[in-house]
Amino acid sequence: MLLYKTPIIFFFLSVGLFLCGLWFLNTSKNKKVHQSKAGFLISYTYFFFSLLNITIAAGVLIHNIYYPFDLFWLLFIHNFILVLLSLMSIYTVYYIFFPKKNVFPLVICSSLGVILMIETIIFRPIPFINHLGNIDWNLNLFLSINVFYLLLISIGSFFYIFWRLLSLSKEKYLKRVYSFNCGIAAFGILGVFIRFITPHFEKNSIILIIADSIVALIGIVLIILLFAIPLISNLRNK
C-alpha cells in the first residue's frame, strides 16, 4: 500500500496550530496580550487554521482506507472552511486595529469566497495522490489563484496582526512571541505560493515535496516549542 504522507504532514501542522490557539486563549484569559478579546479572536482563528488542516489530513486518510471516497468533496469542504477562515481573519484585523473603519475588505473577501465556491462546482477538479504519496489538488490556474488569494488574506492577516502587535508591545517575552508568529506566517505564505502557484509554471514533483516539507516543518516546530519543551521542563521541575 502506498504510504500517504499528506495525513501525517497536515496532522502535525493541525496539532501545532491548535496548540498556538490554546496558548493565545490562555494568555488572553490572563490579560497578557494587547486586548483580551483580541486574544480570543486570534486563538479561535488559529483553531480555524487547525480545522482546515485536520480536514485535509482526515479526508486523505479516509480516501486511503475507503478508496471510492471522491477527493473532490474534500476540496469542496476545504474551500468552504477557507472562505470562513479568510472572513474571520479579516474581521480580527479590523476588530483589533480598525474598529471604526468600513468593512469593504470583508465585502471583497466574501466576493472572492463566492467566486471560489462557484468555480469549484463548475470546474469540479479531482484531486489525487501522486506516486510520492503527496496530495495534488489538480486545480486549474483560475482556481489556484483564487485559493492562493484567500490563503494569502488569511495568513497575511495574521502576519499583519503580529507585526502590529510587535510594534505595540513593550514586553520582551511578547515581542519574541509576536516575532516568531510573524516568521511562521511568512513561511506559511511561501508554502502556499509554492503549492498553488509554482506548479503552473514548473511541472516537477519536487515542488509538492518542498511545499509539504514547509508544512511539516512549521507543525513540528510548533509542537516542539508549545508541547515538548514545556512538558520536559515540567517533568524536570517535579
Q: What is the pLDDT of residue 2?
A: 45
Q: What is the pLDDT of residue 4?
A: 63
211 and 188 in contact (C-beta within 8 Å)? no
46 and 24 in contact (C-beta within 8 Å)? yes
Query: Structural domain boundaries of the chain?
Result: 5-237
Helix orientation angle between 205-223 and 5-29, rounded to the nearest 10 degrees:
40
pLDDT digits (tens, 9 = 90+) for 129-152: 887 778 889 999 999 999 999 999
122 and 89 in contact (C-beta within 8 Å)? no
CA pair distance 78, 52, nearest whole angstrom: 6
71 and 128 in contact (C-beta within 8 Å)? yes
Interior angle at CA 157, CA 156 and CA 162, nearest 5 = 100
CATH of 5-237, one of 1.20.1070, 1.10.3470, 2.40.50, 1.20.5: 1.20.1070
If you compute the radius of gyration of the chain from its CA atoms, what whole number of angstroms results?
18
Reported confidence tier of residue 237, pLDDT bands at 50, 70, 90: low
Q: What is the pLDDT of residue 30?
A: 62
